[in-house]
């Protein structure tokens, strides 16, 4: 699947720390055969790819539509619709298949959300309906 991750409060914290499990889960998803992309309402976040050395995992970065999500993909230069999205905002998860992620936990070291997301993606890819209630 083409899996699109939001950036702020999804893979990084408000103070720009990488959430626990991001690299491990990205590596597993790629090993499972998925293509990973970042998208953000704040633009193409290559600075995050660079800062956390995510180049080997992330194929491309896109602008994320914040409304009329499907209609605006072309306008924003997103060449295909995501098969699955991970986002801390419910509207995105309502617009596309996906799972809502809770904002980073405190203390950050105890944040296990990325692993829950991994299981949700795996279940969805297997054709099961993952629990997206979070
Ligand atoms: Mg976000």
Give me ligand 1 centre to Cα 44, in Å.
13
Q: Is residue 57, in this structure, part of any structural domain at all?
A: yes
Condensed to tens digits (0 to 9), the pLDDT of residues 80-122 reads 999 999 999 999 999 999 999 999 988 999 999 999 999 999 9
- CA–CA dist 43, 33 (Å, integer): 26
Residue 133 falls inside a structural domain: no
Per-chain residues with Cβ under 5 A from ion ligand 1? 6, 8-9, 88
Average pLDDT, whole number, for the chain?
Answer: 94
| List of residues 6+ apart from 36 with CB closer than 8 A | 3, 5, 26, 29, 30, 57, 58, 59
Cα–ligand 1 centroid distance for 81 (angstroms): 18
52-76 average pLDDT score: 97
Longest dimension (CA), the chain: 39
**How many domains does one find in the chain?**
1
Strands 98-100 and 84-87: parallel
Ligand 1 geometric centre to CA of 42 (Å):
9
Tokens representing 78? 């997103």
Residue 15 is assigned to a structural domain of this protein: yes
Domain containing 68: what range?
2-125
The model carries a pTM of 0.93
Which CATH number belongs to the domain containing residue 45 in this structure?
3.40.50.1000
């Amino acid at each position: 699947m083409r899996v699109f991750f939001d950036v702020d409060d999804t893979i990084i914290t408000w103070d720009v720390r990488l959430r626990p499990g991001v690299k491990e889960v990205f590596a597993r998803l790629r090993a499972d055969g998925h293509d990973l992309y970042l998208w953000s309402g704040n633009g193409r976040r290559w600075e995050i790819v660079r800062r956390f050395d995510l180049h080997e995992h992330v194929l491309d970065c896109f602008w994320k539509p914040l409304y009329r999500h499907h209609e605006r993909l072309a306008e924003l230069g997103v060449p295909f619709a995501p098969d699955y999205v991970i986002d801390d905002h419910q509207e995105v998860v309502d617009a596309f298949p996906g799972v809502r992620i809770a904002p980073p936990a405190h203390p950050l070291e105890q944040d296990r959300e990325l692993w829950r997301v991994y299981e949700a993606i795996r279940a969805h890819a297997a054709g099961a309906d993952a629990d997206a209630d979070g």
